[in-house]
Structure 1
Amino acid sequence: MWIALPAGHAQAFPENLVSRARVSASSQASPADGKYGVLRLADGNRATHWASANKALPQWIRIEWDQAQEFDTISLQIYHTQARNLYAGWKRFEVELSDGTKRAYTVQPDQDVVNARLEKPCRAKWVQITLLEVYEERTYVGVDEVGIYLDPERRIREPKPIARALPREAIRVLGGRPHPSVYVTAADVARARRNAEQTEWGRQTKQEILAAADKWLERTEEEWLRFLPPPGACYAYGFTGCPICRSSWGTWGGARCSWDRPGTVQCTQGHILPDAKHPDDGSGYKGPDGRVHYFVGSWNAWVTEQWLNAINRLGHAYALTGDERYAERAAFFLDALASIYAESTSGSWDYPSSPPSGRFARPWYQVARTLVPFVEGYDLIYTSKALNKPSLRPRLEKGFPKGPTLQQRAVGTADAHGKSWEGMTRRDNIDLNLMQDGAYYCYSHSFSGGLHNGHADYMRGALAVGVLLGIPTYVYNAVESPYSIYAMLANNCDRDGRYYETALGYAIHCRNLYLTFTEPLRHWSDERYPKGVNLFANDRFRAFYELPDLTMDVAGHALNYGDCGPDHAFIFPSDAKFSGTDYTFAEHLYAGCTGAERERFARLLRYLAGGDVERARAAAPNRTWLLYHADPVPGAEAPSLPEDLHRKVFGSWFLGQKGLAILRDGSGAEAQGALVRFGPSLNHG
């Protein structure tokens, strides 16, 4: 029972009169003393509840006493949101007393606790609560706990509502945003063009982008269109491998597929599948051992992932050159994929979930991992007239299969349908059937109560579209909700700037995820946040990115704990410390900060670059990002680290909250160290 007592109130809590009553029900899903029996209505155990035997209405529960009792409050904890696929949400119920009093009550959607207050205290020998109507039929209706109290001081209160997703029809799309405005702005595009002209690494990066984009101009649109999967098609990771030799054919965009071999995969031993002995009609080939091999599903996944990469490269090529050919082809790919996106809702069929869920090949939270680059590419071409051309969707829709699609027939994922109309433009289709559809999927899953990396994915996917299309709900959710980026920082990043899991790899992955919040939030602007939201102004956020890799290095070895495997490497330690991961984060810190903090990170950049930042940028893996965000770094010397960071990299460091002590001594070939652990192990998974 959720209870709130006034501050300093020492009086006893009202007695639950159900504890001295007999209880009965119209039906029950187990014997009375079983897990779902009527005796579970007031046992105080949140692991049990009463459940009806079926979904038939009305259903009732009855509380009776030998002697009349005085009360004024009836409290119900409804069992619904804990298992909403099985338990219906209550909509309307009636309370009847033994003296003939009757009163109806209405329950709000997803309301878990209802306190039915009587106008005045009354005496009765029994109370019957009858459920008359639910929001949507499910297998059962249920009640976790029921309480009946004499509570004249109103000390029994309903809990603060749990944050829940708004229905899609309540999400307002305001539009009116400048473009680009999500991960880069017009000023950033100008910087990218300047870097491409004035720096050697910038020129090389631009050449690579244009070369990658040009190959997508080689075929005609109709030639590309023949590779588009049908709506509700199979998509697969490619876990099972070759049924002939068991070797791999790769996964998703890395599968061994070719535009010259449509509908097939090739394993590392050269077997091309499907073939006559291993047919696949689109739903997979089931081998003698019972395993299903999704050849066509892997091909479909490869196509959509390859086109996603194309959109990204074409978008950047357009931003750097203004050449409409790139925008035209990116708009075509986006429009084609948007024509089947809302219908492709199963994710990878071989991903372990039942039924599968997602968009294209990506399951669950990984929907955001493709939605974000879709947004990035789309934002870069958003002002192009190519998006005002007629959409392919009305034409393609005429050829869509009638009746259930393959995904519903084969794996049970319910079919969904996007929207279409005559005169629909590419922009209409992409905005509605790809961006808004994907964003709401991510947004609706961001209320599960977790603050893990998968949750961060959901949140950033919706945020990206929110900033792109002007949807305040998604932006405010990322900043203000109980599941916001600030909640993740407070929960997952400790006072020493470390990630809570004892998994160094996932700690870096988490940092990469959180970085994708910085630019959309900074570029957002409205009455509530006229200057956007600057995560780099947050001390905890900055600390999270200050040399997270090198501070875990001892004599050339990464600290060996948590999810790390054995480390048998023989290394000659060096006092010249470098980490590509830390260098990437330092570039983000330098670009995102101002004033004294920016000077600090300029010093850090020069240290990691050995004094030659331009040379380091030429070798950096994130040169496309640098193109838009890298400014010159003043100074040419290779300074020492700031004193506090020098101690964390070369000296001993006590991390009290994490439960680690890193002991270091000596230098160069004489360096040595030890790790002392006294904290918890929170391995990934």
Structure 2
Amino acid sequence: MANLAHWDEGGRPYGSSIAYANYPSRINDGIKDFSGNTNNDTAWSSASEKLPQWAAVVFRRPASVNRIAVYWGRVGDWATSRRFRVECWTQKGWKRVAALQRSEPERMTEAAFDPVTCEAVRLHQGVGNGPEATPDRMCVAELEAHGAFIHGPEVDHLRIRDALREEWEGNYREMRRPITREVLARIDRKARPKSLTGPIGRAEMEKARRNITSTQWAKSLSEKIIADANWWMEKDDGFIYDMIPPENPRAISPSYERGCPIHGGGRRCMRTNTALPYRWQCAEGGEWWYNGAKVRNPATGQLVEVRDDGDGWTSPPGFANPGTTYHFQSAWRYYVLSKLFFHPYEQTIPSDDAYTGGTAITQLAHAYAITGDERYAHKAGVMLNRLAEVYRFYNGTVDEQRPLTRGYLVQVSWEEWPIHDCLAAYDLIAEVMLRDRTLLDFFRSKGDCDYNGDGKVNFEDLRHNIHHNLFGYMCEWLHRAMSIQTGDYIVREGLVLAAVGAMLDNRELVEEAIDGPFGLATNLTNNTFRDGKWWYDSPGYSVGCITGMSLERMFSARQLNLLNDRRLRTREAVEFARNVDCDGRLPGIGDTGGGDSRIKVLNPFVPCRHEEFAHLHTGDRAYLARHLALSGGDVDRIRDRYADWMLLFHGEAGRDLTGATGGVALTPQAGGTVAGPDVAFGDAPGWGYIKDVSRAACEGTWSATWRIGNEDRTGIRLTMLGDRGREIITGRGEGYGFFGKSPLDAYVLARSPAKGETTVYVAVLEPFQGHPFIRSVEPLTVSGGVGAKVCVDGRTDYLFRKTEEVLACASEIDGRRVEFDAAFARITLHDSGKRELHLIQGSYLKFGEEVLQGPAIPRGRVEAVHLTDDSLTVSLSSGEGLAEGDLIVFRNPACICNSSAGVKTVERLDANRLKVGLSLSLNLSEGVVQSVEGDAFTSDTCMTKLKVCPGLFDGKAVYVNGVRRGVLKTATEGRFAFADPSAGAGLKAGDRFLVCDLDVGDEVEGMRSADLTLPQVCG
């Protein structure tokens, strides 16, 4: 009997949910035999969630079915559901025709039953009945239904589709109901907050108006805001109302991972605008995609009609990624909502008929703040109130893998953007909105707007709709997401929840955001290293996690003074970000697209705005000084190009990359990538994305030069000294855009064979304008260390570094002996005869007869640790003491790395004892004890920096409820073992613990330097 479910028979597949790109189209595509141990491109897979899951196929015509066969996906072993039932859709809905149970994995499962007349068939898996390895997931490679079609009209597949969606939504809402009920109660308990408590108050409005009248940059920025807002002023309220659809957005782009059906690519490869309903254009080939479009199959040349009635269109064989579902209709809804309330992921086509400006809700609110014209506030009120009517009925995007944390509007990690934008806009317009009679009358004309159900329609209904139906459900998502997520997601969500609580004057929300079990205090402490680096390897995320958006969110809750909460490590994180992003060019490590895109547009002044932004938030004038230096003192010119609304309201008036490796003889590699000649481009992470590889053995000095723009513009040259076995590798790596078609950057890698625990690289980085200025770099022979001779016009620098544990290092300059006992040393000989000697952390530097004595280095040990004020009692054994501004290094042989901190305060207790206040938070990590196991305890508190840096806590002291309990022998993510088994006595589940960065007995060493300038020698 025929397989009635096959795609060629007109069957339409549906899945309860989706795991990333494992599309439901694979349920009936006919592919059921595949090699390997994974089903990434051959099977449908649901998300992993504690909900019923199903795989269904709706027939083209009614059918008589008496047997099904299901071929399971594969992840290692066959992903056979352990318990499921077979159901058929009849006139009365779903009818169970078979129930099956399997204790062992199998490739295929069959079920026969009495013939049933039906319009669809599905496999239904109850909660937790999936494969043993992944019980909350369902994975189907192929569902076959055998029987025969019978006479009758075509099946209304939309009716069955909608029933499936309604069933899933009901299950989803029921699962969330306890959280939703509690969060809404918190919102409703504080019903009347003040307005203008967010990032823009009355003082900031006046400052913006002064800036507009006195500076060109502010005038230009305000004109852009007003122009965007005026586009909406020309539209009636009904136009705005109709732009916010009641249907789900469901997809952030037609295909998040696969780009264009013909040209492939990835995200940001399609474009549209608000005046092109449900239509998309490929940015590469210019083809138009929409329901009913006729496109030519690139393989066969035949015309194919695109059919997308809301479920997406699945590309047939012959297209770039056959079997991929493209969501043209639902992605366009997402695009429109994003233009109104945050920003689109895909590109915008310029058009006078479309809205192509900035985020509409913020532009309207800012226009009101600038002008005081309440008509702008009215239009913003229409947008907000309409969104509040439909927001709780959305279920976000479905083309990604994590529905439990999926937002109402957006996918897993971005819902906080519209939350913040709506919140900040409402804070500005609330006073006008809640007395706007025209607004109330408009929504009364649209239907029932007794939102609070008290039988009356008044301004309390508008307030209830915004607070309860909009911000209430936004907070429900924040609460749900923070309990599941990690990484930068949870930081942004915590910051926005704090801002919501602050602006709604709701202390319960603020306390949850900061001190809750998934709050900012725990997460920023446990995910940020002591120098302010976020736990990710990617500098892009490390920088982005705290600058820009995160600082903006903190500023939105400025009355909470989050910037000065030591547990949040804000200042350290800002300082790290500024050091890494000092020139607007983030190192290309990991997912660093932000830095890549700034390079591509040759944006040399990007750091200027960030410097000023950091200064606004921290008050540190060092940031402002760097901003002035980077802008050449012409602040207005830079602001005119890069300022945003934050500077308008808070500021005071006031490139492709190419490289060359010089004369090194490089041998091209025959194909492949840096990952290997047999690894194709894009097949492996990291090195697999650098192609056009050449290699050279280079034990001598070599250099590589990169330039931005033409020969007369800025460049940087790297000169590296050689070493035995050194290999130089060059290649080109691409950034974002169409796969295989992006601009390529030049990469140079230096590799050395492993020599024990460390490998030494000696290099000089030379930024220049026009042409390099260093004439030569040569190695120096140094016993106990390394050195380099650097010649520039007018002088020669001799640089030394101690690398071995010896009493003194020695070298020679022009026949004169050099001897030093220091971490670093420098000797500079000027052509005029002047000499400079400099050392860091050492006792002396001798050059011939000339001697530079180093200062006495303060050394000692920690006597006591004071957690309450991040201070220590230090006993000194040498040196003249410590002073404010000093840098201290702390050493403990039981720890894998040293700690360092700046000195904030010093109080002398007696001749050799000091109380030293530190710039460093002593709280290395904190959490809650989950269970106690003899000499160890467990914790499920997120501690990702321990995950990525094993051994980081070894040798550190643990405090429980403020009392020191003992030192850790070993610590892994989730389990902490004491060196002394008795230290765990009395611990119990629920105790709060803290891992202290420093401990009694740690060695203390203050950093010192010295320099000496000797005048020209007279003949």
The alpha-carbon deviation at position 307 of structure 1 amounts to 1.8
Identify the match of residue 282 of structure 1 among 294, 310, 318: 310
Hey, what does 1:617 align to over in structure 2?
Answer: 639
8 Å CA contact retained: 2:259, 2:265: yes
Aligned length: 461
Deviations 1:168-188 (A, max 9, x none): 424554244432222222211
The 5-angstrom pairing of residues 77-156 of structure 1 reads: none
AA partner of residue 367 (structure 1) = E
AA partner of residue 545 (structure 1) = V
8 Å CA contact retained: 1:499, 1:507: yes
Hey, what does 2:103 align to over in structure 1?
Answer: none
Hey, what does 2:416 align to over in structure 1?
Answer: 368
Quote the Cα distance in structure 2 between the aligned partners of 1:209 and 1:380.
15
The alpha-carbon deviation at position 481 of structure 1 amounts to 2.5
Task: Call closer, same or farther: CA 1:313–1:662 in 2, change over 3 Å.
Answer: farther
The alpha-carbon deviation at position 518 of structure 1 amounts to 2.2
Identify the match of residue 434 of structure 1 among 470, 474, 478: 470
Question: Is 1:333 the equivalent of 2:383?
Answer: yes
8 Å CA contact retained: 1:338, 1:434: yes
Quote the Cα distance in structure 2 between the aligned partners of 1:662 and 1:341.
56
The 5-angstrom pairing of residues 589-628 of structure 1 reads: 589-594=614-619, 598-620=620-642, 622-628=643-649
Task: Call closer, same or farther: CA 1:244–1:480 in 2, change over 3 Å.
Answer: closer
Quote the Cα distance in structure 1 between the aligned partners of 2:543 and 2:195.
31
Name the SS of the counterpart of 1:473 in structure 2: helix
Quote the Cα distance in structure 2 between the aligned partners of 1:536 and 1:355.
31
Task: Call closer, same or farther: CA 1:604–1:445 in 2, change over 3 Å.
Answer: same
Task: Call closer, same or farther: CA 1:356–1:666 in 2, change over 3 Å.
Answer: closer
Identify the match of residue 480 of structure 2 among 444, 451, 461: 444
Task: Call closer, same or farther: CA 1:363–1:281 in 2, change over 3 Å.
Answer: same
Task: Call closer, same or farther: CA 1:423–1:272 in 2, change over 3 Å.
Answer: same
AA partner of residue 483 (structure 1) = F
Question: Is 1:314 the equivalent of 2:350?
Answer: no
Identify the match of residue 381 of structure 1 among 429, 454, 466: 429
AA partner of residue 310 (structure 1) = A
The alpha-carbon deviation at position 318 of structure 1 amounts to 0.5
AA partner of residue 472 (structure 2) = Q
The alpha-carbon deviation at position 220 of structure 1 amounts to 1.6
Q: TM-score with structure 2 length normalisation?
A: 0.40
The alpha-carbon deviation at position 329 of structure 1 amounts to 0.8
AA partner of residue 287 (structure 1) = S
Question: Is 1:353 the equivalent of 2:402?
Answer: yes
8 Å CA contact retained: 1:347, 1:357: yes
Deviations 1:126-156 (A, max 9, x none): xxxxxxxxxxx99xxxxxxxxxxxxxxxxxx
Question: Is 1:423 the equivalent of 2:464?
Answer: no
AA partner of residue 209 (structure 1) = I
Identify the match of residue 331 of structure 2 among 286, 298, 303: 298
Task: Call closer, same or farther: CA 1:542–1:585 in 2, change over 3 Å.
Answer: farther
The alpha-carbon deviation at position 607 of structure 1 amounts to 2.5
The 5-angstrom pairing of residues 510-549 of structure 1 reads: 510-512=545-547, 513-524=549-560, 532-535=561-564, 540-546=569-575, 548=577
The alpha-carbon deviation at position 226 of structure 1 amounts to 3.1
Deviations 1:58-105 (A, max 9, x none): xxxxxxxxxxxxxxxxxxxxxxxxxx9759xxxxxxxxxxxxxxxxxx
AA partner of residue 428 (structure 2) = L
The alpha-carbon deviation at position 480 of structure 1 amounts to 2.0
Q: TM-score with structure 1 length normalisation?
A: 0.58
8 Å CA contact retained: 2:261, 2:315: no
- Structure showing greater relative contact order (alpha-carbon pairs closer than 8 Å, 6 or more residues apart): 1
Task: Call closer, same or farther: CA 1:176–1:338 in 2, change over 3 Å.
Answer: closer
Question: Is 1:213 the equivalent of 2:249?
Answer: no
Hey, what does 1:257 align to over in structure 2?
Answer: 272
Structure richer in helix, relative to its length: 1
Quote the Cα distance in structure 1 between the aligned partners of 2:759 and 2:577.
14
Task: Call closer, same or farther: CA 1:326–1:557 in 2, change over 3 Å.
Answer: closer
Task: Call closer, same or farther: CA 1:533–1:611 in 2, change over 3 Å.
Answer: same
Hey, what does 2:253 align to over in structure 1?
Answer: 237
Quote the Cα distance in structure 2 between the aligned partners of 1:166 and 1:484.
17
8 Å CA contact retained: 2:199, 2:555: yes
Between stretches 237-246 and 608-617, larger displacement belongs to 237-246
Task: Call closer, same or farther: CA 1:515–1:323 in 2, change over 3 Å.
Answer: same
Structure richer in strand, relative to its length: 2
Quote the Cα distance in structure 2 between the aligned partners of 1:342 and 1:198.
44
The alpha-carbon deviation at position 235 of structure 1 amounts to 4.2
Hey, what does 1:479 align to over in structure 2?
Answer: 514
Deviations 1:598-629 (A, max 9, x none): 44333333233323333332232x42110111
Q: Which runs of 5+ in 1 are unaligned?
A: 1-52, 55-83, 88-136, 139-162, 400-416, 525-531, 572-577, 634-649, 651-658
The 5-angstrom pairing of residues 162-241 of structure 1 reads: 167-171=183-187, 173-232=189-248, 234-239=250-255
8 Å CA contact retained: 1:327, 1:384: yes
Hey, what does 2:650 align to over in structure 1?
Answer: 629
Deviations 1:514-552 (A, max 9, x none): 31342133225xxxxxxx544387894223223635547
AA partner of residue 633 (structure 2) = G
Quote the Cα distance in structure 2 between the aligned partners of 1:660 and 1:489.
33
AA partner of residue 239 (structure 1) = S
Quote the Cα distance in structure 2 between the aligned partners of 1:215 and 1:445.
36
The alpha-carbon deviation at position 510 of structure 1 amounts to 0.6
The alpha-carbon deviation at position 392 of structure 1 amounts to 6.3
Quote the Cα distance in structure 1 between the aligned partners of 2:396 and 2:570.
33
Task: Call closer, same or farther: CA 1:547–1:499 in 2, change over 3 Å.
Answer: closer
The alpha-carbon deviation at position 459 of structure 1 amounts to 1.5
AA partner of residue 498 (structure 1) = K
8 Å CA contact retained: 1:225, 1:336: yes
The alpha-carbon deviation at position 488 of structure 1 amounts to 3.2
The alpha-carbon deviation at position 204 of structure 1 amounts to 0.8
Deviations 1:8-54 (A, max 9, x none): xxxxxxxxxxxxxxxxxxxxxxxxxxxxxxxxxxxxxxxxxxxxx99
Quote the Cα distance in structure 1 between the aligned partners of 2:554 and 2:462.
29
8 Å CA contact retained: 2:520, 2:568: no
The CA RMSD over aligned residues, in Å, is 4.5
Quote the Cα distance in structure 2 between the aligned partners of 1:164 and 1:397.
26
Structure showing greater Rg = 2
